[in-house]
Structure 1
Amino acid sequence: MPGRKSKLYIHLLFWILYYILEVYLDFYWSRYQFPNVEWQIRLQNTVILELGYLLVKIPLAYALLYVYERTDIRRFLTCILSVIIFIAAVLAHRFFTHYIIYPHIYGIVETLDGKQPSGFLNGLVAFNSFMDLVFMAGLIFGVEITRQKNLLKEQISKLKSEKLDQELTMLKAQINPHFLFNTLNNIYGMALKKADQTPDVILQLSKVMRYNIYDAAERYISIDKDVENIKDFLQIQKIRHHDLVIRFNENIDNPSQEISPLILIQFVENAFKHGVSETFGKSFIHIDIQLKNDVLHYHIENSKEEKPHGNSTKIGLKNIRRQLELLYPKHILTVETTNERYIITLIIDFNDTFRF
């Protein structure tokens, strides 16, 4: 329905502008053909004349558009029908000009040079009628093709946006659920021991889950909310990893800067799942978040075993990389690994980010 309204408005505007153009051109030309006629009468005749021509041109235009847009008609048949429509339009144009305009509007006989009478199908005047109709058809086809291309671009852009949303939703849904189950098991153990930290852990877990369920459903949130979620996540992990050394540095000059939720936390989750959790000795995780002049520098280092189990970390990083490609195509992500640690650095320039 919105597309039909848009088409109606565009075509209505086209015919208004086309009518004004034709009135201007014919009025300008009439002062040479009828130099002794007052301009008020010439203008009146031109206005009436072009209204009459619209009765020929509008049916021609939409008959051609109808044939052009029919996908069930073969190209050869389309050409034949277009020729027939044009011949009928030229005949109607000549009939209107020869038998109505000159004798009834101008009150004279149509002539070629001001002296010699013109026949109904004289070659020169028929060619003029043909060119007038071709000019009009070219304009309306140009307008309609441009409108359809713009509409197609909007539809493609909308489909791409919807596809991105669906893909991001699926990628976010792949975040590991083991964190929730392990935390609940730890809370259960703490409850059995009647540990004093139990209520605090439950509160922090509820905040993390609220963030993942509600805030993460938004396309963008403020970076201070995202950082707060990371802090809650780290506090819970401290309960699970008693020997864990956490260093967290934060320097944000614009807390309201928007970022896609769950991007930063995934690197931290990945560090615990494939790094800290596999470290049998003293484990550590160092996180540094810097936001200055709308440029984010995110740095994570975490401990690892010299010979980690399997290569499951590649799956998590693949997920994160795909999200970054969709959301921040010009990001810079570097992943380094040594015998003792993983090092990840992410740079996002929010000044050069596509928002969909």
Structure 2
Amino acid sequence: MMAMKTASDPPLLDQYGTLISQLREIPVTQCNDHNCEVIEDCELPLIDLGGLWSHNDDERKACVEAIARASSEWGFFQVVNHGISPELLREMRKEQVKVFQTSFEKKASCCLLNDSYRWGSPTATSLKHFSWSEAFHIPLTKISDEASYGEFITLREVLQKFSAAMSKLAWLLAGVLVENLGQSKEPLGKICNENTCFLRMNHYPKCPISPEIFGLVPHTDSDFLTILYQDQVGGLQLLKDSKWVAVKPNQDALIINIGDLFQAWSNNQYKSVEHKVMTNGRVERYSIAYFLCPSYGSLVGSCKEPSLYRKFTFGEYRKQIQEDVKRTGHKVGLPRFLL
């Protein structure tokens, strides 16, 4: 039986139905290549960040090495003892749910959170490019703007605390990764700051059609570093050794993944790995991501020579991605900038 649509749901079913009508096909699966197979749930490398504050040099060194190794071999890892209180995380989730449960009309038209509400994939011309999700993509510079919150007064204070805590953690980890390469944090600090970073609140409604529909299409992140706070529903999958693996949720951990810019900056020592979110027919899913980004005019280059990539600005990179997606339906990313 198909789930009843609620007033808070975006018209995802309508958009999906329109795509089916246009294409006159109902796929059994979204995957059509050798990367489709999903093997059993995996547990990402789990790193206790308490080692970074240890007075024992060997313990700190071991923690740095674990972070660097996971960034090279997986492109993903999870962290505990990360410094963000469980109380703040619970409060953030409570406020997030409250916003997404409001009516679709209000989310879409009341300029909430800097008018950053997005749903589905308006430009999708194929079912494999369609995302069954909704989100608010919020610049950190707009989080303090009282006019962006309307009736959601309590959300502002929680978001401010949450974004500050995530920013602190992002810089801690970025510093560790830069240090491991024998580089100074100063160049990275000059092009990334709180004025250039984003938070994205995600909601994946129950999908009554098929568990093979993407909640978020396969992609790599276009930033330096992403921190993800997810619930226990599951659905996140990543590409490991040419196989899709399902990430087993850990209620005590945050997930970290390397973005395209860190891969380029590290000259491919760290890996930006393709990942996706699959839908669930029985339960909805929530997550919040923090993106460590530079300004659009910032020049990104490899920290070592000979460089594998030509220098490019973040704005140039984003523009190329948008052009590729418009023309081909998918992101090409870093291969466009190889020397």
TM-score, normalised to structure 2's length? 0.26
User: Which is strand-richer, 1 or 2?
Assistant: 2
Q: Which is bigger in relative contact order (C-alpha 8 A, separation at least 6)? A: 2
Structure showing greater Rg: 1
